């Protein structure tokens, strides 16, 4: 495995207008953590929620949060290693593929 994956779920407590009926960004973070943990058991990874409207101290988080707001991304936006993997309702298949590319072994 290259390094521990850090997966960021960028979003807001307010559901975006295009995403009504979808899970909230926070719910997506919790769902993603559980799903990845089942698919890649006993392998270390992090899933973190980032509120795009809260002040960010870390430069990379601030840059991505600003980009999401200014470019009208549908959130939640899933970011791994600074790369946007999904926006709106994420597909597990895409996230699993990124994990496998980083050396994670599916169960």
Q: Please measure the distance between the N-terminal and C-terminal CA atoms of the chain and give it in whole angstroms.
A: 15
pTM as predicted: 0.90
pLDDT 10s per residue in the chain (107 long)?
A: 667 899 999 998 876 666 667 788 899 999 999 999 999 999 999 999 999 999 999 999 999 999 999 998 888 999 998 889 999 889 999 999 999 999 999 99
- The reported pLDDT for the residue numbered 18 is 64
| Of 31, 45, 43, nearest in space to 90 by CA | 31
HEC sequence for the chain: CCCCEEEEEEECCCCCHHHCCCCCHHHHHHHHHHHHHHHCCCCCEEEEEEECCCCCCCHHHHHHHHHHHHCCCCCCEEEECCEEEEECCCCHHHHHHHHHHCCCCCC
């Amino acid at each position: 495995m290259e390094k521990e994956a850090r997966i960021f779920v960028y979003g807001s407590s307010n559901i975006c207008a295009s995403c009504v009926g979808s899970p909230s960004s926070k719910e997506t973070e919790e769902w993603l953590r559980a799903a990845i943990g089942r698919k890649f058991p006993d392998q270390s990874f992090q899933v973190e929620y980032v509120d795009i409207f809260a002040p960010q101290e870390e430069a990379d988080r601030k840059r991505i949060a600003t980009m999401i707001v200014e470019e009208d991304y549908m959130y939640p936006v899933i970011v791994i290693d600074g790369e946007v993997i999904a926006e709106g309702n994420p597909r597990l298949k895409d996230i699993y593929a990124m994990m496998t590319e980083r050396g994670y072994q599916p169960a």
